[in-house]
Structure 1
Amino acid sequence: MELEVVLALGMFAAAIIALLAGYSVALTLGGIALIFALLGLALGVFPESLLSNLPSRVQGGAIMQNETLVAVPLFILMGVILERSKVAEDLLHIASRLLGRINGGLGYAVVLVGALLAASTGIVGATVITMTLIALPSMLQQKYDTRLATGAIAASGTLGQIIPPSIVLILLADAVSNAASQAASQMGIGAFVVSVGDLFAGALIPGFILVGLYLIWIAINAWFRPHHCPPVVDDTSDPLTRKEVLFGLGAPLLLIFAVLGAILSGIATPTEAAAIGVAGAILLAGLRLSDDDDAFLSALVLAAFASLAVIIFTRNVVDLRLGVADAGALAYVGVGISLIATIIFFAGLLAGMAILNRKQQLSPALKSGVHITSMVFLILIGASLFSLVFRGFGGDEIVAGLLHSIPGGKWGALVGAMLVMFVLGFFLDFIEIIFVVVPLVTPPLIVMGFDPVWLAILMALNLQTSFLTPPFGFALFYLRGAAPEGVKTSEIWHGAVPFIGLQLIIILLVASMPWLATWLPSVAAK
């Protein structure tokens, strides 16, 4: 075996061992890469020029000037603000009150709210912990089967992996796009274009089908084992008002539709849509947390929503271009109205931030957003160095050779790659897998003829399944940490098994019917 191959494989094995030992992910990836690069230089089997290219790689379009990645901190901030503004509590309360009087009603509520939170926050850990703290005690109090309750919560929490706007899909779009360009270079053809919008559109149908499968499983339990998911009894809380339903349920839905609609329709880029999401989250949080002492500020927030409607209406009715020859008085009036509405909107935005600050939620939300964003980008830099050194030893050729040597042709290679990602998902977070493993296995798979968007959706579903699979699934760890003491770990594992089966069904459906992932992106591109 050649020395380069030994160093490449040893580097990968050393990184896995260090991560399992509990060392910091970003520092482990970067540190292991530097150690093996220096070792390779000393042995004369590693090109020194590769290391000198790292600063330009970080500062250039791959990371710091990558417009796609700008959406990451914005979507993270949107999710954190919504989490801290108790939107999740409102959604669960409303859904539970609307559905709780039927068998399985609380289970339906958990799945639907999990899907909405996935689309609102895209952060798996936050969703699982939030629903465990809020929903699980209520479900257990209503005599729900512990296994069904914990399984529904864990599975619903992982929907943040696949339902857009998901942080996973944004990072995966960047990794797959780079891999597709590399594959196109090897094939001598024009570059494949894989955008965040493509993955958001591609994930919608599989995500909705998966939510439907979860609901069907709970309905089966409600029909055949009604004692496992009984209706809510002795509910003494006040009836829901129309205002509570419209605001608590309608407002988050409106925000989700605005963000996704702006991306899928081509009105806004993912970064611009993420900025819309942050602004909407601030306004919703301001209204949710306001009280009698914030009457003036909450009025400004409401005025901001009204100003948005005015801007959209004016833009669609009046041609606001002043530099054209036929610009008349109506155009100047329209521009004036739009400017006033814009000032009101920003005033409402500042009012929402002021309310968050009064409730001591603004600073923690910003700090949490910065912390998560810093972690993501530090891992990205470490993973970039790791990939650079691994390729310097010919690691990409090793991976391609291994995939080609798997029996079964391209389908055997696909199954092998998915199994590797699935197992690594037990031990590594999705960020490390996306930044380290996806760039290695995706180019040869695309060269073999697989569609990059379809591949990305399969990978996202695969990672979601590994998040849910005992004994190492991250979602199960999150749930175990937040669950009451009386809930056994074995019950959590047992409860996850049926939902893992549903995950495998959706993976097989997407694998056998690629149009489930590719049809909507093709329509949106027209």
Structure 2
Amino acid sequence: MSAEFLPLFLFLAVCALLMLGYPVAFTLAGTALAFAAGGILAGVFDAGFLSALPGRVFGTMNNTTLIAVPLFILMGTILEKSRIAEELLGSMARVFSGVRGGLGISVVIVGMFLAASTGIVGATVVTMGLLSLPSMLRAGYSPALATGTICATGTLGQIIPPSIALVLLGDILANAYQQAQLQMNVFSPKTVSVGDLFVGALIPGLLLVGMYILYLTVYTRLKPQAAPPVDQGTVSLGELMRGLLPPLLLIFLVLGSILVGAATPTEAAGFGAVGALALALARRQMSVQRLREAVIDTLGVTCMVFMILIGAAVFSLVFRGFGGEELIHGYFQNMPGGAMGATLVVMLVIFLLGFILDFIEITFVVVPIVGPVLLAMGLDPIWLGIMIALNLQTSFLTPPFGFALFYLRGVAPEEVPTSAIYRGVIPFIIIQLLLIVALWFWPEMATWLPEQFKQ
């Protein structure tokens, strides 16, 4: 085995073991340490690289930005347990009562709010599947259109802030940007933060929601039998405001405090968690048992995230020790098309990995490897982060391995065939690819708004 290609073999070994179902965190750390041990014995690995591991772990423990992760997760789980999404869906369905495709449009709008509150794809897809899929099927919606709408709406949690994916990407890209500046011998005061990604994701995220609604409107006009109008009754303005205003106000306060610079993402996440709890208590939808379930769910997801982060730290150190960064940098530099050609290859790799790996694993494994190299080639970190988030969102929908498809399959009735789910997501995949292409040619869609807030 040539030592030059050891980083590539390490990466492929990790992917193969993950596909076999081994735990992510232990696979990352265990495989890397096994390669490091073999490299030390063969004299091709410097054990001094591992001496930086305690500093990496302590840096993770001391990273205040990452505290936002459990707080945003807690905010989302509290809102989920308090049945706010269920009430909101009922109110929006009555707003669009009698409109062809109105129930589907209601699902998209409520899914957007749910994505902005939970930030986790699985939670949104499962919640919307349980709440809306039976109603859509009873109303006569085609199974393909109903399931496709729910899957696509559920993945909005990847791009609409406060997204957990954007929190993790922001932290990783901030470190990658510092490394890129060191490689270029440039010491610029410009930085990239989680807040920058939140602001940059607003326009693409809202555009995506608008494109979903436009598709549903046009499709239901062309094929009326696929989404018949449903009489859900009327809703008064007061009822609508009671269902819509509190969660909307909470989301605006959380995001607004970040956008205007009044609070860091971590501080805003803390406010959001407390606000969600206060909202649930005010509605008398929070018991000790539900709060206990919310805390336990938050603890489970948080432990998973941070264990993967520690495993990824071991992996990145060993990968760097084998000269992986130099290998990738040389490969990208010699690639036709320069920075954009390298970016296209990275986007394709991330898209394919999205079939088998979760966004957390890709964020912690792939982005630290390719991020510094791409940013050193002059790419805008905010644009790159939004492109990666949209790319992951698309891969979660793509048959046959898209995660959102499996989440919905787990809660969908048996009479809904898997083939209907696959057919239903195809138009939404095309919509997302169109948005990615538009962002490729007009990066200002992601970079213009952050520049305005910094002025």
**TM-score over 0.5 for the alignment?**
yes
**Whole-angstrom distance in 2 between the partners of 1:265 and 1:17:** 44
Match of 1:18 in 2: 17
Match of 2:203 in 1: 205
Q: Given residue 211 of structure 1, which amino acid in structure 2 is its aligned partner?
A: V
Match of 2:217 in 1: 219
Question: Which structure 2 residue ranges, 5 or more long, are not aligned?
Answer: none
Number of residues of Structure 1 aligned to a counterpart in Structure 2: 454
1:96 aligns with 2:93: yes
- Given that 1:387 and 1:436 are in contact with CA atoms closer than 8 Å, whether structure 2 keeps it comes out as yes
Pairwise CA distance, 1:244:
3.0
1:521 aligns with 2:437: no
The 5 A counterparts of 1:246-261 are 246-261=241-256
Match of 1:267 in 2: 262
Pairwise CA distance, 1:221:
1.2
The 5 A counterparts of 1:133-282 are 133-191=130-188, 192-233=190-231, 235=232, 239-282=234-277
Pairwise CA distance, 1:242:
4.1
**Whole-angstrom distance in 1 between the partners of 2:80 and 2:94:** 21
**Whole-angstrom distance in 1 between the partners of 2:337 and 2:7:** 26
**Whole-angstrom distance in 1 between the partners of 2:282 and 2:219:** 38
1:432 aligns with 2:432: no
- Given that 1:206 and 1:516 are in contact with CA atoms closer than 8 Å, whether structure 2 keeps it comes out as yes
- Given that 1:37 and 1:46 are in contact with CA atoms closer than 8 Å, whether structure 2 keeps it comes out as yes
1:74 aligns with 2:71: yes
**Whole-angstrom distance in 1 between the partners of 2:98 and 2:281:** 32
Q: Given residue 287 of structure 2, which amino acid in structure 1 is its aligned partner?
A: L
SS of structure 2 residue aligned to 1:450: coil
SS of structure 2 residue aligned to 1:406: coil
SS of structure 2 residue aligned to 1:189: coil
SS of structure 2 residue aligned to 1:421: helix
**Whole-angstrom distance in 1 between the partners of 2:29 and 2:278:** 40
Match of 1:403 in 2: 332
Q: What do you get for the CA RMSD once the two structures are aligned?
A: 1.2
1:114 aligns with 2:111: yes
1:441 aligns with 2:438: no
Q: Given residue 186 of structure 1, which amino acid in structure 2 is its aligned partner?
A: Q
Match of 1:336 in 2: none
Task: Name the TM-score, length of structure 2 as normaliser.
Answer: 0.98
SS of structure 1 residue aligned to 2:354: helix
**Whole-angstrom distance in 1 between the partners of 2:423 and 2:337:** 33
**Whole-angstrom distance in 1 between the partners of 2:63 and 2:176:** 15
Q: Deviations over 1:71-115 (max 9, x none)?
A: 111001101111111111111111111113100000100111111
- Given that 1:403 and 1:417 are in contact with CA atoms closer than 8 Å, whether structure 2 keeps it comes out as no
Asked which structure has the greater RCO (Cα within 8 Å, sep 6+), the reply is: 2
- Out of 258, 281, 286, the residue aligned to residue 281 of structure 2 is 286
Q: Deviations over 1:307-347 (max 9, x none)?
A: xxxxxxxxxxxxxxxxxxxxxxxxxxxxxxxxxxxxxxxxx
- Given that 1:285 and 1:356 are in contact with CA atoms closer than 8 Å, whether structure 2 keeps it comes out as no
**Whole-angstrom distance in 2 between the partners of 1:516 and 1:102:** 32
**Whole-angstrom distance in 1 between the partners of 2:368 and 2:404:** 25
Pairwise CA distance, 1:224:
1.2
The 5 A counterparts of 1:363-402 are 363-402=292-331
Q: Given residue 132 of structure 2, which amino acid in structure 1 is its aligned partner?
A: A
Pairwise CA distance, 1:471:
0.6
Q: Given residue 276 of structure 1, which amino acid in structure 2 is its aligned partner?
A: F
Q: Deviations over 1:371-429 (max 9, x none)?
A: 10000000000011101100000011112222223322222111101000000010000
Pairwise CA distance, 1:247:
2.1
Match of 2:80 in 1: 83
**Whole-angstrom distance in 1 between the partners of 2:427 and 2:364:** 30
**Whole-angstrom distance in 2 between the partners of 1:194 and 1:356:** 40
1:483 aligns with 2:412: yes
- Given that 1:471 and 1:493 are in contact with CA atoms closer than 8 Å, whether structure 2 keeps it comes out as yes
- Given that 1:206 and 1:506 are in contact with CA atoms closer than 8 Å, whether structure 2 keeps it comes out as yes
Pairwise CA distance, 1:173:
0.3
**Whole-angstrom distance in 2 between the partners of 1:506 and 1:228:** 25
Q: Given residue 193 of structure 2, which amino acid in structure 1 is its aligned partner?
A: S
SS of structure 2 residue aligned to 1:361: helix
**Whole-angstrom distance in 2 between the partners of 1:88 and 1:30:** 39
Pairwise CA distance, 1:522:
0.7
Q: Given residue 262 of structure 1, which amino acid in structure 2 is its aligned partner?
A: S
**Whole-angstrom distance in 2 between the partners of 1:402 and 1:431:** 25
Match of 1:309 in 2: none
1:6 aligns with 2:1: no
**Whole-angstrom distance in 1 between the partners of 2:105 and 2:200:** 25
- Given that 1:45 and 1:393 are in contact with CA atoms closer than 8 Å, whether structure 2 keeps it comes out as yes
What is the identity percentage for the equivalent residue pairs of Structure 1 and Structure 2? 56
Q: Given residue 10 of structure 2, which amino acid in structure 1 is its aligned partner?
A: M
Match of 2:352 in 1: 423
1:507 aligns with 2:414: no
Pairwise CA distance, 1:56:
1.4
Pairwise CA distance, 1:7:
2.3
Q: More displaced, 243-252 or 38-47?
A: 243-252
Q: More displaced, 471-480 or 445-454?
A: 445-454
Match of 1:301 in 2: none
- Out of 439, 459, 470, the residue aligned to residue 388 of structure 2 is 459
**Whole-angstrom distance in 2 between the partners of 1:515 and 1:445:** 18
**Whole-angstrom distance in 2 between the partners of 1:285 and 1:244:** 17
Pairwise CA distance, 1:241:
4.4
